[in-house]
């Protein structure tokens, strides 16, 4: 069965890194078609006020998956655009799992000095449709001395239970639930309850708990203890950038926004549009390429996904990398290095 993937390259380095992911996927000769929506970007938003039209949303929904670059532009100063594209896709397609693996791709890339604690190989399972991201809230007495802003932190028992279930379903060694239930009272109770129930259903898997501040500390002192971390939308956002750096760099980090029930997914690097280096042709394409590997795995091509991961590993071992990883290659050359490694098998 041919599969059709919607491609939203986005802004800044998004199109630059997505191009390398697409070119790399094309060399695999799979029955895979691309439906490119390169008009979904900040230019269009600034011109028309539309982030993602209903027509484009339906087009994306009709395809098998989405490969996403990054969005964000310094000219856009409100959250409407980002919410209208990426968060709309996550929420309206109910992609409730944000699966963000962090695996050290090469020892030299770790910022940690002690080699015994460098071996990070974990997955951050980030709840992707609730928390502080629901847009529930409002403003009272806006633009005055008394402006009062409220963003409601939403935790539903259903939403938290289903993210726990996913976390346990992928665990190899253990699940660590990260919350702030010592301070956040009501939501904390829901997270604790759903966690205890999921732990009881999975006696063969080691269940542990950390408050998010301690989790941040443990990540730096010894990330090797973590297997699956399950946490809310905001803590998952923050911890996944931290884990990405410990695993070798934000530019390498991949993610899958998935609904395990429908099987639909949106795959994107963890990083953003990197306006500070956009247009220079030096953005690291590995996060985008590894995100396309996650997509292949979900579309039923696990061997090709492994081949892509191995090829990225080879490029890194050979030092064929962009400046963020200490190399001197451009985005295109780093993509070529992966394709050469793929061709060499
Ligand atoms: P960022 O991830 O874009 O950049 C943070 C830092 O990491 C920058 O110094 C950047 O140059 C570097 N970096 C990121 N990706 C890199 C890569 N592939 N290669 C080399 N260096 C890389 O985060 P930011 O600066 O906070 O945000 C910039 C814009 O991106 C904002 O508009 C933000 O909202 C948006 N954003 C979008 C997404 C997304 O689309 N999924 C994710 C994060 C941020
Ligand atoms: C991410 C990004 C997004 C998020 C932004 C762009 C809304 O930081 O995918 O990690 O916070 O989820
Ligand atoms: Mn983020």
Establish if 88 belongs to a structural domain.
Answer: yes
196 in active site: no
Number of domains in the chain: 2
Domain region containing 208: 111-246
Note the helical H segments in the chain.
Answer: 14-26, 42-48, 54-62, 80-82, 88-92, 157-170, 185-201, 212-221, 233-246, 286-299, 302-317, 331-344
Identify whether residues 142 and 238 lie together within a single domain: yes
In short, whether 90's Cβ falls inside 6 Å of ligand 1 is: no
Identify whether residues 232 and 330 lie together within a single domain: no
Rounded Cα distance between 325 and 336, Å, is: 16
Of 222, 246, 270, the residue at which a domain comes to its end is 246
| pLDDT tops 90 at residue 160 | yes
Of 201, 225, 246, the residue at which a domain comes to its end is 246
Identify whether residues 126 and 223 lie together within a single domain: yes
Instruction: Give 199-210 pLDDT, tens digit per residue.
Output: 999 999 999 999
CA of 105 to the centre of ligand 3 (A): 20
pLDDT at 282: 98
Establish if 37 belongs to a structural domain.
Answer: yes
Identify whether residues 122 and 241 lie together within a single domain: yes
121 in active site: no
Identify whether residues 96 and 115 lie together within a single domain: no
Rounded Cα distance between 292 and 307, Å, is: 12
Identify whether residues 95 and 130 lie together within a single domain: no
CA of 306 to the centre of ligand 2 (A): 26
Tell me, letter by letter, the H, E, C secondary structure of 153-218. CECCHHHHHHHHHHHHHHCCCEEEEEECCCCCHHHHHHHHHHHHHHHHHCCCCEEEEEEHHHHHHH
This model's pTM is above 0.85: yes
What CATH number should be reported for the domain holding residue 178? 3.40.718.10
Establish if 25 belongs to a structural domain.
Answer: yes
In short, whether 249's Cβ falls inside 6 Å of ligand 1 is: no
180 in active site: yes
In short, whether 86's Cβ falls inside 6 Å of ligand 1 is: yes
Identify whether residues 281 and 241 lie together within a single domain: no
Mean pLDDT rounded to a whole number for the chain? 97
Identify whether residues 15 and 122 lie together within a single domain: no
pLDDT at 115: 87
61 in active site: no
Identify whether residues 40 and 166 lie together within a single domain: no
User: Ligand 1: which atom is nearest the Cα of residue 268?
Assistant: 41
Q: Which H or E element spans position 150?
A: strand 148-151
Of 246, 274, 305, the residue at which a domain comes to its end is 246
151 in active site: no
CA distances from 236 to 128, 241, 309, 313, 338 (A): 9, 9, 23, 25, 29
Establish if 58 belongs to a structural domain.
Answer: yes
Q: How many CA atoms lie within 13 A of 110 on its CB side?
A: 22
pLDDT at 328: 98
Q: Is 285 helix (H, G, I), strand (E, B) or coil?
A: coil
Establish if 106 belongs to a structural domain.
Answer: no
CA of 240 to the centre of ligand 1 (A): 13
Establish if 310 belongs to a structural domain.
Answer: yes
Establish if 61 belongs to a structural domain.
Answer: yes
| pLDDT tops 90 at residue 316 | yes
Q: What residues have CB less than 8 Å from 340, skipping those under 6 apart?
A: none
Instruction: Give 101-138 pLDDT, tens digit per residue.
Output: 999 999 999 999 888 889 999 999 999 999 999 999 99
Identify whether residues 234 and 261 lie together within a single domain: no
- Name the residue with the closest Cα to ligand 2, atom 12: 237
Q: Give me the catalytic one of 81, 133, 168, 235.
A: 133
| pLDDT tops 90 at residue 345 | no
CA of 17 to the centre of ligand 1 (A): 12
Identify whether residues 115 and 242 lie together within a single domain: yes
């Amino acid at each position: 069965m041919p599969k059709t993937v919607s491609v939203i390259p986005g802004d800044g380095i998004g199109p630059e890194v997505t191009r390398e992911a697409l070119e790399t996927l094309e060399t695999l000769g799979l029955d895979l078609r691309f439906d490119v929506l390169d008009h979904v970007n900040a230019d269009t938003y600034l011109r028309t006020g539309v982030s993602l039209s209903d027509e484009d949303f339906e087009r994306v929904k009709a395809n098998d998956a989405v490969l996403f670059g990054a969005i964000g532009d310094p000219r856009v100063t409100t959250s409407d655009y980002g919410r209208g594209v990426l968060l709309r896709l996550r929420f309206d397609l109910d992609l409730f799992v944000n699966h963000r693996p962090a695996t050290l791709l090469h020892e030299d890339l770790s910022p940690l000095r002690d080699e015994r604690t460098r071996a990070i190989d974990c997955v951050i399972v980030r709840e992707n449709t609730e928390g502080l991201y629901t847009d529930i809230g409002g403003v009272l007495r806006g633009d005055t001395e008394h402006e009062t802003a409220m963003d409601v932190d939403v935790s539903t028992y259903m939403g938290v239970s289903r993210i726990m279930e996913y976390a346990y379903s992928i665990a190899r060694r253990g699940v660590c639930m990260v919350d702030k239930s010592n301070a956040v009272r009501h939501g904390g109770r829901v997270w604790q309850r759903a966690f205890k129930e999921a732990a009881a259903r999975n006696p063969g898997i080691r269940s542990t708990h950390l408050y998010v501040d301690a989790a941040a500390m443990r990540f730096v002192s010894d990330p090797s203890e973590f297997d699956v971390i399950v946490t809310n939308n905001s803590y998952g956002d923050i911890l996944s950038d931290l884990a990405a750096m410990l695993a070798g760099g934000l530019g390498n980090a991949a993610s899958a926004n998935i609904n395990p029930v429908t099987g639909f997914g949106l795959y994107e690097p963890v990083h953003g549009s990197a306006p500070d280096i956009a247009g220079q042709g030096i953005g690291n394409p590995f996060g985008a390429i590894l995100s396309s590997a996650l997509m292949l795995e979900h579309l039923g091509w696990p061997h090709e996904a492994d081949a892509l991961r191995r090829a990225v590993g080879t490029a890194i071992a050979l030092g064929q990398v962009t400046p963020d990883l200490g190399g001197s290659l451009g985005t295109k050359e780093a993509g070529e290095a992966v394709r050469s490694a793929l061709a060499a098998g």
